[in-house]
Structure 1
Amino acid sequence: MASVLFAVLTFLVRFFRYSLNTLDPWLRYINIRLVSTPSTVEELLEKVRSRFGSLPALASNRDWRERVQNALDALKGKETTPFGRLLAREKLITQIRTLECFETIPRRFSNVLTVPIDRPIFILGLPRTGTTILFHLLVRYPHVAHLNTIRSQLADLRPQDVAQATSIDDLCRRFCTTSKQVKYTFDILLASGCGLPHNIHPASTTFPEECVLVLSNYLFYTNYPYICGEDFTDVVKDYRDLARQAYRFFRRDLQVIKSIGQLSGSRFVLKAPYHSCFIEEILDVFPDASFVRLHRDPVSVVSSSSSFFRAIRAPFSTGDDWKKIGKGCQKMTRCIARELAKETRREAEHTLDFKFEEIAKDPIGVCREIANKVGLEHTKAVEDDLTAFLAEDARKREQAGKHKHTLAEFGLDAEEIRNDCTDYCKKFGV
């Protein structure tokens, strides 16, 4: 019965998406818009205030407001479908509500701020360098904590849940109820073609999730490339102060998630490509952090990233401007590679570098070396678990089909990409 209901709801979402995208352009000719988005930050914040009654403190930050305005402006583009605008609008509102939840819970339960976040392990690198598979492997070690979609979606807590909770345990129980709703909604969206293609990047509410889900709330990088098709990142331009503030909040957010998400692990493994641009800011907040950096030929990175973003943008896009996607990925790669190539003021407690070929050839050997360096317990039971996971992952990827891509289909030039990343290639030998 449950599977039938799920199939019906999935069909309805697909039908709704198709109908909305088909009808809206025609109705606009007679000044009827089925999906509208606020034009200004003030309009959006007023919508949030009227819905929830209050705003997060970050709403007064000038840089953050500029990022929100950039996101709203991007949604006006002709390439964005009505369904894409609808999802993006609701996502923005959810992000603002989430910020308030992260602020309110520590005020309500001050002991949350005493939860330790000791010796976190950050996985860094350009996109498509093996960071995801390494992430999935490291979180299988004992005493390791990680984020996932359910634990990160605090916005689905109702305001009265936080206000009425009598203890952290009571809040955890309330959160478990909303988590079930999050999972059901997320799974329906994935099944209706609004999520990631599984042969490129697996997605699930219970899978280990990148920090992007939490960091995107602070909007210090562009986080709607799959919807609006704009430049993928201007991640380091003029936003250092906002990044410093965001990472200070990020530590608090991890304390909140660890408290109400009932995480058993004592050390976080954290992963997102954008961490690579903020090594100094991370060390300011997490001075005992360890970094694991993965490296790959930038030409392969740009080609694979372009194919990846083309796949996840397909349900939201009205056109096939793949060259624009390619140039956006080239810009993103250049930006992150430039930051990785810089010399930092100080080193992390441990910094380990591996090439894509190393983790592709011997992922368990790489994990063993990392564990020995950063103090994770690598036992035979762990190794057997990693072996079983890799076998199952290989089976799923073979079943889903190979991820094929070339530079030519995105209008890209290999020599130009390497010239963009000369310092990075020399420093890491790729």
Structure 2
Amino acid sequence: MGLVDDLIDEACSATGLGDFGGDSFREGLERVTRALQAEAALNAIGQAALRGLMVGSLKARLHIEQWYKDHPETDDAPIVGPLIALGLPRTGSTALAGLLAEDPDIRYLRRWEAAELVPPPASVKESPDPRLLRQIEIQSRRSELDKALVPSFPNGPQECHELMLLDFKAHYFECFAHVPSYAQWLLEADLTETFQYMRRALKYLQWGQPAKPWRLKNPNHLGHLVDLDKAFPDARFVMTHRDPTEVLASVCDVFANVASRFNDTVDRRYIGAVNATVLTTGMTRALAFRDDGNDHRFHDIDFRAMQRDPISEVRGLYDWLGEPVTPAFEENMRRWWQENSADRVRVKHSDPADYGLDLDAIRPRFAEYLARSARWTSHADSALADAARAHPTDPSASVAGDAV
């Protein structure tokens, strides 16, 4: 793993550029590089992949800054009232993001553009964008386990990890390698500049396109809502709910699956510990943020309700937003749900003990959240009962597995 200056020099040399738009990224880059060198057990594939990821993020930041110099009008287009999904993995959040992306009147971060941020999509004259074709080819090589653990579609919605990587403050790295010092630092770090740069990147991506409200998603935002609010003070949030102890082993399986490719050894106890800490800290901070005069900015959806009648849940969300569910949007959602709820692969998840997790000991740490979420989604129980009576044997009403 190269030193920080080596990575920066490589990015500058490759692009012929040198302006990063400030150096807020440098501390994160220094800390993650140090952790990867001192703590991780990366194999040759992992070393190449992580170096490529970091140099790629530096190059993207250089190109974004050059774009702003050449096109200063990019900053004039506003980012107004984004809707940010905060549901934990396996709570219906992936399905919700997929359904929301079917609204033709919104903008979301597409998988192919997140993978290759440069250049802005509207500046590309080829159709389809070559990046989409490359992503289709990449996705075609994914294993069945990968698809089951992390559903992903070339033109579908992507969590905004890549945008946070531009400032090198992203929980992404914890999935790739054993980096406990970086993980601990990140949990306590100030991410204000990270989210401000994310806003800058969103303006860059929407350049040359009609203004549409953004729909974003990232479960890790739960732990950093105070900083996120500084960059997006008019954001509203949709939160999907489920007992976190029901999803912990599944989340850890995702981490272990990724880490096994890039490391000589996989420390499952570290994976269990870091995920338990991130989830409990995130939930505690999210409750505090809601209590601090922000509860009205949240709409809540129960996991079971999302499984049972996702279209109705989206309608409820849009009623709350004060926006219509157009006939085209509803038709798109029904098509998406039919296509993506069929033939889902069931995954047998690991025993939590494999990751050093004692769920009986962890569950009390989520007691306050569970009590609150039960109240926030209390309407779901009666709605589910009504739906069950109305459609007692509807085979299209649920999704196989819990990877939604």
Which TM-score applies when normalising by structure 2? Answer: 0.82
The equivalent residue for 1:334 is 280
Check whether the contact 1:94–1:155 (CA below 8 A) recurs between aligned residues.
no
CA distance in 2, matches of 1:82, 1:194: 21
- C-alpha root-mean-square deviation of aligned residues, in Å? 2.9
The equivalent residue for 1:24 is none
The equivalent residue for 1:423 is 368
Map residues 312-323 of structure 1 onto 2, 5 A cutoff.
312-323=258-269
> Is 1:66 aligned to residue 18 of structure 2?
no
Map residues 79-228 of structure 1 onto 2, 5 A cutoff.
79-153=41-115, 156-157=118-119, 171-173=123-125, 176=126, 179-180=129-130, 182-183=131-132, 185-192=134-141, 197-228=146-177
The equivalent residue for 2:324 is 377
CA offset digits 1:69-108 (Å, max 9, x no partner): 2222333346311111101101101101111222221221
Deviation at 1:196, TM superposition (A): 7.7
Deviation at 1:282, TM superposition (A): 3.0
Q: CA 1:203–1:350 in structure 2 vs 1: closer, same or farther (change >3 Å)?
A: same
Check whether the contact 1:247–1:282 (CA below 8 A) recurs between aligned residues.
yes
The equivalent residue for 1:245 is 193
Map residues 9-88 of structure 1 onto 2, 5 A cutoff.
37-38=1-2, 40-57=3-20, 60-61=23-24, 64-76=25-37, 77=39, 79-88=41-50
CA distance in 2, matches of 1:360, 1:148: 24
Q: CA 1:296–1:155 in structure 2 vs 1: closer, same or farther (change >3 Å)?
A: closer
Deviation at 1:347, TM superposition (A): 2.1
Deviation at 1:59, TM superposition (A): 5.7
CA distance in 2, matches of 1:54, 1:196: 40
Q: CA 1:372–1:109 in structure 2 vs 1: closer, same or farther (change >3 Å)?
A: same
CA distance in 1, matches of 2:16, 2:194: 23
The equivalent residue for 1:408 is 353
3-state DSSP class of the match of 1:127?
coil
CA distance in 2, matches of 1:266, 1:59: 28
**Which 4+ stretches in 1 moved above 6 angstroms?**
none
> Is 1:294 aligned to residue 240 of structure 2?
yes
Check whether the contact 1:124–1:276 (CA below 8 A) recurs between aligned residues.
yes
CA distance in 1, matches of 2:52, 2:90: 28
Q: CA 1:239–1:411 in structure 2 vs 1: closer, same or farther (change >3 Å)?
A: closer
Identify unmatched segments of 5+ residues in structure 2: 376-404
CA distance in 2, matches of 1:191, 1:379: 32
Q: Single out whichever of 206-215 and 185-194 deviates more from structure 2.
A: 185-194
Number of equivalenced pairs: 372
Identify unmatched segments of 5+ residues in structure 1: 1-36, 163-167
Give percent identity, aligned residues only.
Answer: 20
Deviation at 1:290, TM superposition (A): 1.4
The equivalent residue for 1:12 is none
CA offset digits 1:192-233 (Å, max 9, x no partner): 559981112222332211111212221223422332133494
Which TM-score applies when normalising by structure 1? Answer: 0.77
